[in-house]
Structure 1
């Protein structure tokens, strides 16, 4: 999954410059200062200030910034009022009163689904292979650990070092995790649907679709003990053309559930 646009690291304030330099070196991205010339027609920026790391389209400021926030906003509301184990994702994963499955999220993205599962008691292992998205997720986890109210939830979310999911899965023993969760990027043909959220707008400009998702599914199936859960747009084709054991469909998305064996009661 390669970047479609130029990505630079940009310190928003003098206080953010030391970490901006460190991040640029780590991710092998160019460091730019505000007086440097940047191709505004193509550049996305990881903007670093003293508080957070965010992603911004330099050529389209009205899109705003995208960053990970587990403490405030929609995730906080969902944690407090989201329906608990009655949520579709909880049912798909197989959460029971006495069973909180270990989950490998191989396409963690901004970590929102993982946070929901961790808030319900699951232990999450997170993989993200885009260096830009990885840096956003890592930064969000770092900041969230400082919040006492959700610290125990964040401690159940373990972000693995930046790597490709295929390499990680290849080193896993069979049935290493109770459940493996995949939410691969789907290359929409309908551009209007792809522009429904600012995060998706930026991600479509940042990343190609997950063209190897079918192979990821095969590796994930071997790694899961009880089930593999695939999140898809409601009208998207089946991953690897494999018919699921069952489906849970919502208005926009669905969960395809591939059961290997029954979960403990």
Structure 2
């Protein structure tokens, strides 16, 4: 199935400092994005700010001013390693005893759930159709490979990035497909909503995309499909799961194939 990829028109590359202008030009050319010398010139919904050793996303809207980064060594992600939700996610994909499934994260986004799964010992293939997010994931994985934190190096050695649309991908070595649709009714902190709004701006909107992703996933030769959902929302495409693992704010619908 051929599907349009996320548009690069949603993002403009901006140098964070004057000396980063050549870097911004190079990255904009690589991503087929607009480039602007100053943030005031940005007309797209999202700007990708780049510097010599840093890059982040920021919405043009005045209400959303905090940057969004992909950083597997960030304090927030390291703190999440101790979260009870990690255990729920691990159980959902089948982590048990010495079993560590090979997982295809078909909606990688900022890569946080993929990192958690890799930290639990799973090998994870990340698929991301937004060229901008795929580039940020690639850069984050490169930085993680030389991180001073040994656990970050180890987890990211289990992660492999595959840019493109999941629906064009045929699984081979993976035994579990993980889907985290960008449900608009997601509740949580302002940071969660900020991240979601940036992802939605970069991905655009395709009709029935989540249902198409689930149909694709169910057609693949894997042992199970796991879908992350809001706690009280109906099952995706009203397809009844084999079983459900519930947390405080989200649940994981498990489809055993």
Q: TM-score of the superposition, structure 1-length normalised?
A: 0.83
Q: 2:166 maps to which residue?
A: 165
2:32 to 28, 32, 35: 28
Q: 1:96 maps to which residue?
A: 96
Task: Give me the whole-angstrom Cα distance separating, in 1, the residues matched to 2:228 and 2:205.
Answer: 14
Number of matched pairs: 249
Task: Give me the whole-angstrom Cα distance separating, in 2, the residues matched to 1:235 and 1:76.
Answer: 28
Whether 1:219 aligns to 2:216 is yes
**Per-residue deviation at 1:35?**
8.1
**Per-residue deviation at 1:166?**
0.8
**Per-residue deviation at 1:201?**
3.2
Of stretches 89-98 and 9-18 in structure 1, the one that deviates more from structure 2 is 9-18
**Per-residue deviation at 1:5?**
7.5
Alignment of 1:204-215 (within 5 A): 204-209=200-205, 211-215=208-212
Contact 2:115 2:155 in 1 (8 A): yes
Distance change (3 Å), C-alpha of 1:6 and 1:222 = closer
**What do the CA deviations read for 1:176-197 (whole angstroms, capped 9, x no partner)?**
4211101111244x8x879653
**Per-residue deviation at 1:66?**
0.4
Contact 2:8 2:32 in 1 (8 A): no
Q: Which runs of 5+ in 1 are unaligned?
A: 261-265
Distance change (3 Å), C-alpha of 1:87 and 1:212 = same
Q: 2:226 maps to which residue?
A: 229
Distance change (3 Å), C-alpha of 1:91 and 1:58 = same
**Per-residue deviation at 1:78?**
2.2
**Per-residue deviation at 1:109?**
0.6
**Per-residue deviation at 1:3?**
5.4
**What do the CA deviations read for 1:32-71 (whole angstroms, capped 9, x no partner)?**
10287333xx542000011222101234275211001111
1:16 to 16, 20, 23: 20
Q: 2:76 maps to which residue?
A: 74
Contact 1:104 1:179 in 2 (8 A): yes
Q: Which runs of 5+ in 2 are unaligned?
A: none
Matched residue of 2:219: which SS?
helix
Distance change (3 Å), C-alpha of 1:243 and 1:35 = closer
Q: 2:58 maps to which residue?
A: 56
Q: TM-score of the superposition, structure 2-length normalised?
A: 0.86
Contact 1:70 1:115 in 2 (8 A): yes
